[in-house]
Structure 1
Amino acid sequence: MLEIKHLKTLEALSREGNLVKAAESLNMTQSALSHQIKLLETQLETELFKRKTHPLQFTPAGQLILESSRNILPQMQQLERQLVALQQGEIGRLWIGIDCHTCFEWLLPLLRPYQTQWPSVDLDIVPSFHEPPLQKLPAQKLDFVVTSDPEPLKGVDYTALFSYELVAVLPLDHSLLAKPFLTPKDFSNLTLITYPVPEEKLDVFKQFLHPAKIRPEAISFSELTIMMLQRVEAGRGICVLPKWLVKKQTDFQHLPTRSLSESGLWSKLYAATPKALTKQAYMQDMINLIAERMEL
C-alpha cells in the first residue's frame, strides 16, 4: 500500500510548505501530485493533511507517515549509494581462506595496506580447521582462497599469483653440504622436520620424494617455522621451506641451503575466487598486490 514515492511526497510537502512547490521539487505537475495524494488517502481511508491551511498542517496519520519518512528515506538513500558502489566494485566482502601452511608469513603484512586502500571492504581471514577452504568457495563461506593445489570446482576461477623455489635447510656441519644440490635418495637417511599436514599437501613429498618412491628415515613435526629452524640448527634434522621464507628468518640466515635436484623444486600459488567476483576491482587489487609484493 505505502510506497517510497508516498514517503517522498509527504517529505516534500513538509519541506516546501505547499502543494505547488512540492510538485515542482518532485518534477511532477500539481494535478498529478494531487491525484497521487488523493488515491493514497482513499486507500488509507483518512486525510493526510488539512487543505487550505498555511502553514500546511498534517493530520495525525500524515504526521506518522512523515516521521517514518524522515527515518526511512535516508536509509534508502544510503542503501542506493551502497548498491551503486557495490556494482562499481568499490565495496564488498573479502573473506580469505588459506590452503598453504606458510602463507600467513607473507599475507598478514599485506592486509594493512590493502585495507587502507579499500576501507569499505569487509576483510577477514577465516580459519579452516575442519573443512578444506576450497570447498567453502561454492558455499559462499569464503571469497578468496590461497592455494597451491587448484582443483576443478564449478563457478571458481584460479589466477596465478607467484612461483617460488623450495630449498633444504641444513645444519652447519652436515655432510650433504659437499653436494651442490640434493636428490630424493639423499633423504633416505635423514630426519625431515615438517609441518603437521598431510603429505599430499607438501610439495617435497608429492613432487620430489613420492615420485622417486623414497621416504625419509624419520619424520618429525613442528607447527612453527622458527622451531623447525631451531631444531635444524641443533642438528636434529633438515627441513624444506620456501626460499623467500628462509630469507626472512634473520636469526637463521647463517644456516646453509641446497636446492632439491639440479633444476630446483618449484611451486606456484593461486588465488581461487568465485567467478562472479573475480573481476571486481577490490578482488583484482588483492590479486595484483600479492603478485607485485611477492614477485621473486
Structure 2
Amino acid sequence: MLERIHLEILTAIKAHGTLTKAADSLHLSQSALSHSIKKLEGQIATPIWEKEGRNLRLTDAGEHIQTLANRVLPQLVHTELVLNQIAKGEAGSLRIGMECHPCYQWLLRVIHPYLQKWPNIDMDVKQAFQFGALGALLSYEIDVLITPDPLFTPKIDYIPVFDYEHRLVVAASHTLAKQDNVLPHQLSEEVLFSYPVEPLRLDIFSQFLNPAKCSVKKHKNIETTEIMLQMVAAGRGVCALPGWLVDEYAKSMPIKSLRFGEKGISKQIFVGVRNTEQDIDYLDDFIAQAKKTK
C-alpha cells in the first residue's frame, strides 16, 4: 500500500505541478513516477491525480495522501538525521546505573563538562539501592554501570576509572578519633550505619569484620550520605565511606576517617559497558571524562 515514495511523489506534484518537474526534483524518470502511482491507484481503486491542461491536479484521495505526507515526511527526515548522528556517535541516550551509592557527587562532576560537550546526548541516572545492576546492563535497561564491585562476565567490560581507600568514619569527639587506624574488635560495641545493601556486599564486613570473626553491636540502614554523616558527627554511630568523600565532608563537619587495619581497604571505581558498544564515540568520551575526574 502506501510507501514513502508515494508521499514524496505527491509532495513534488503539489509543489511543481507537472510530471516532468516532479520527476526532475526527485531525480527519477517520468515513467517511474507514473508506474508507481498507477500501481497505488490500482490498490486503492481510485485515481490520485488527473490532468488539468498541461498540469496535474491531485484528486481528493491525492490531497488526503499529500496532507499525510506533510506530517510524515518531515518526521522521517528528522529521524534519519538523528539515526545518522547516532551512527556517527554524535547523538543518542546514555542511561547510567549507579551501584556506587556515595559516588553521586563524583558523577555530577563528570556529567557537567560532558553534557556541554555532547548537547545532543540525553542522559538519565538510576540510583536504586536494590538495583539489579548487571541484569539491567545485559538487558539494555541501562548503558553504563558505575560500580566498585564488578561481577565479571564475558559480555561486559569493566574499565577502572580511579582508585580510592575505603575508610571508617567517626565523630571527631569519638575515642577512636585519636587513632590512625582501627582494629576489628574495636567496633564490637559500635552502631554501624550503612546504605541499605546486603551486609555480604559491604566491604567493612567482607574484608574487615568477617575475616576476623568480629561484628558490630547494631547495624542500621540510612539511604542518604548527608544524614548518615550527620548521625556519625552527632556520636550516634560510625560508618564506612570512600576516603575522598569523607575528606570533602570533613571540611565542614566534625568527623574523622580511619584506616581499616594497618594495610587499609583499597578499592577502585569501574565503569561497566557492554563489550559490543565500546566504539561509540559519546560512550568512549564518557569513560575518558570519568577517568580524569577525581
Q: Same fold (TM over 0.5)?
A: yes
Q: Distance in 1 between matches of 2:70 and 2:89?
A: 29
1:293 to 1:39, Cα distance in 2 relative to 1, 3 A: same
Alignment-derived partner of residue 281 in structure 2: 281
Q: Distance in 2 between matches of 1:219 and 1:69?
A: 64
Q: CA offset at residue 78 of structure 1?
A: 1.2
> 3-state SS of the aligned residue for 2:158?
strand
CA contact (8 A) 1:191 1:236 kept: yes
Is 2:56 aligned against 1:56?
yes
Q: Deviations over 1:44-64 (max 9, x none)?
A: 433322225244322222222
Q: Distance in 1 between matches of 2:45 and 2:256?
A: 87
More off after superposition, 22-31 vs 76-85: 22-31
1:48-127 matches, within 5 Å, as 48-51=48-51, 53-127=53-127
Alignment-derived partner of residue 290 in structure 1: 290
CA contact (8 A) 2:101 2:129 kept: no
> 3-state SS of the aligned residue for 1:157?
strand
For 2:203, the aligned partner's letter is D
Name the count of aligned residue pairs: 293
Q: Deviations over 1:64-101 (max 9, x none)?
A: 22222222211111121121122222222222222222
Structure 2-normalised TM-score? 0.86
For 2:252, the aligned partner's letter is D
User: For the aligned residues, what is the CA RMSD?
Assistant: 2.6
Alignment-derived partner of residue 198 in structure 2: 198
Q: Deviations over 1:185-237 (max 9, x none)?
A: 43345443433422222212212222222223444444333343334334444
CA contact (8 A) 2:101 2:127 kept: no
Q: Distance in 1 between matches of 2:200 and 2:15?
A: 69
CA contact (8 A) 1:203 1:267 kept: no
Structure 1-normalised TM-score? 0.85
Alignment-derived partner of residue 170 in structure 2: 170
Alignment-derived partner of residue 141 in structure 1: 141
More off after superposition, 19-28 vs 193-202: 193-202
Q: CA offset at residue 174 of structure 1?
A: 4.3
> 3-state SS of the aligned residue for 2:23?
helix
For 1:24, the aligned partner's letter is D
Specify every segment of 5 or more residues in structure 2 that has no aligned partner in the other structure, as ranges: none
Q: Distance in 2 between matches of 1:108 and 1:94?
A: 14
1:173 to 1:112, Cα distance in 2 relative to 1, 3 A: closer
For 2:107, the aligned partner's letter is L
1:191 to 1:55, Cα distance in 2 relative to 1, 3 A: same
CA contact (8 A) 2:185 2:214 kept: yes
1:139 to 1:262, Cα distance in 2 relative to 1, 3 A: same
Q: CA offset at residue 139 of structure 1?
A: 2.4
Q: Distance in 1 between matches of 2:166 and 2:32?
A: 74
> 3-state SS of the aligned residue for 2:214?
coil
Q: Distance in 2 between matches of 1:124 and 1:132?
A: 16
For 2:5, the aligned partner's letter is K
CA contact (8 A) 1:99 1:146 kept: yes
Specify every segment of 5 or more residues in structure 1 that has no aligned partner in the other structure, as ranges: none
Q: CA offset at residue 102 of structure 1?
A: 0.8
How many percent of aligned residue pairs carry the same amino acid?
A: 36
CA contact (8 A) 1:138 1:154 kept: no
CA contact (8 A) 1:161 1:271 kept: yes
Q: Distance in 2 between matches of 1:74 and 1:109?
A: 37
Q: CA offset at residue 245 of structure 1?
A: 0.6
Alignment-derived partner of residue 10 in structure 1: 10
More off after superposition, 264-273 vs 103-112: 103-112
Q: Distance in 2 between matches of 1:164 and 1:207?
A: 15
Q: CA offset at residue 109 of structure 1?
A: 4.5
For 2:69, the aligned partner's letter is S
Alignment-derived partner of residue 182 in structure 2: 182
Alignment-derived partner of residue 29 in structure 1: 29
